[in-house]
Amino acid sequence: MSYLASKLTAAQAVETLQMDLPADVPEGYVRLKLATASLCGTDLHYFKHFANAGFQLQNALTLGHEACATVVDANGADLVAGQLVALNPIIFCGECENCKKGLVNLCTSKRFPGSGTTIPHIDGFFREYFDFPAFCCHKVPEGTDPDHLTFAEPLSCSMHSVNVGEVAEGTKLMITGCGPMGLLAVVAAASKGAVVEVCDVREAVVDLACEVGANKGYVIGRDDLGALAASYDVVIEASGSPQAFNQALDLVKRQGKVVILSNIQPSDTPIHLHKIMLKEIDVVGSFQFNREFTEAMDLILSGKADFDKLIAARFPLSQTADALRYMADGKAFGKILLKPDN
């Protein structure tokens, strides 16, 4: 059977082509048809540079690790054909030291689709059909909107940053950067009862953050953030800018936490390390997620958060390149979704 797939063949070059599915579904795998996928900052880095965070792609690759899909062939798994499933893209080994502790995000033999971190690379979800491990497929109730369910993976990442920051009811939190990850961190933190404030250089996304749960927003360049120094229990850095990280060190209280959620890239910008020492700041990294996948699914299924507001645009799979270029332009506020052409 042939199907439509997109492939990143070089920096800025995405082709769509017809691929053939293998006749047999591998043991332990389920055959799936894409319902909705979404674009991530990671996909954008691969698209722009054929590399991300120091990982160079070794061959053409189908991008995409955020999606939900419909079961085509359950292949012996406890699933039914036609059923919608959320996809957890972390293919963990279950046996290493970290997996045994439940830290599957830090699995030392982890495999991840659409990523240069896994060699040989595994094609991602920006294609019409694919086979994926059954243990990564999570059932949802009938009637679940796939355009909301695709948020399960990115919301899990944002939820993880909220959890590693130990954000709870009443925590005074600043989120620097209102791209999709920052916006989803707003949703995650608001669901825990935190007092959430945000900042970004773009007024429109600051307004959007306030619509989805932030209590207050600041526009960098318009509002003075100087008076906010040392006033937050936790700052989540979601912009990817080293300058914003330095600003987070200013904004956080003494002995507060600064969490790095953004896909921050290697840089030569000086970091104000002395402030970490002087204020005894706890700097914590947040990479992917563990138990948060269930937490994120529950929040989506609860209907308590407005994901429609967080959808910036929808593109058919055949226009994956246009969708990535639209994201690269930086004019999209919220997530860009990909849907099968038919």
Count of positions on this chain that bind Zn ion (CB under 5 A): 6
CB of 39 to Zn ion, least distance (A): 8
For Zn ion, give the closer residue by CB, 63 or 107. Answer: 107
Closest to Zn ion by CB, 249 vs 305, is 305
Stretch of 11-19, 36-44, 192-200, 294-302 contacting Zn ion, by CB under 5 A:
36-44
- CB of 93 vs Zn ion, minimal distance in Å: 4
Residues numbered 236 to 275 that lie near Zn ion (CB under 5 A) are none
Q: Give per-residue burial for 323-339: e unless 16+ CB within 10 Å, then b.
A: bbebbeeeebbbbbbbb
- Binding range to Zn ion, per CB under 5 A, among 14-22, 38-46, 53-61, 255-263: 38-46
Nearest approach, Cβ of 262 to Zn ion (angstroms)?
12
Q: How far is the CB of 65 from Zn ion (least distance, A)?
A: 6
173-232 residues near Zn ion, rule: CB under 5 A: none
Compare residues 210 and 313 and give the one whose CB is closer to Zn ion: 313
Tell me how far, at minimum, the Cβ of 106 lies from Zn ion, in Å. Answer: 8
Q: Cα separation of 129 and 340, whole Å?
A: 9
By CB under 5 A, which span of 35-43, 138-146, 170-178, 261-269 interacts with Zn ion? 35-43
Give me the numbers of helices (H) and strands (E) for the chain, helices first please. Answer: 10, 17
Size (the chain), residues: 342
CB 215 within 8 A of CB 196: yes
Report, in Å, the least distance between residue 240 CB and Zn ion: 13
**63-122 residues near Zn ion, rule: CB under 5 A:** 92-93, 96, 99, 107
Min dist. Cβ of residue 251 to Zn ion (A): 25
As a whole number of angstroms, the distance between CA 136 and CA 153 comes to 11
Cα–Cα nearest to 167, from 282, 296, 239, 257: 257
Can the peptide bond before residue 120 be classed as cis, meaning omega within 30 degrees of 0? Answer: yes
Q: Does 40 bind Zn ion (CB under 5 A)?
A: yes
Specify burial of residue 7 (Cβ count, 10 A radius: 0-12, 13-18, 19+): buried
Smallest distance from Zn ion to CB 50, Å: 18
In order of 54, 86, 109, 165, 192, the CA distances from 99 in angstroms are 24, 21, 9, 21, 26
* Nearer to Zn ion (CB atom), residue 150 or residue 176: 150
User: Rounded to whole angstroms, what are the CA distances from 18 to 5, 165, 168, 198?
Assistant: 6, 44, 48, 43
Alpha-carbon span 237 to 145, nearest angstrom: 30
Q: Which is nearer to Zn ion, 37 or 235 (CB)?
A: 37
Pick the closer one to Zn ion by CB: 40 or 72.
Answer: 40
Pick between residue 24 and residue 95 the one whose CB is nearest to Zn ion. Answer: 95
Which CB atom, from 150 or from 241, has the smaller least distance to Zn ion? 150
Region of residue 255 (left: phi > 0; alpha: psi -120 to 50; beta: else)? left
Contact residues: Zn ion, CB under 5 A: 40, 92-93, 96, 99, 107
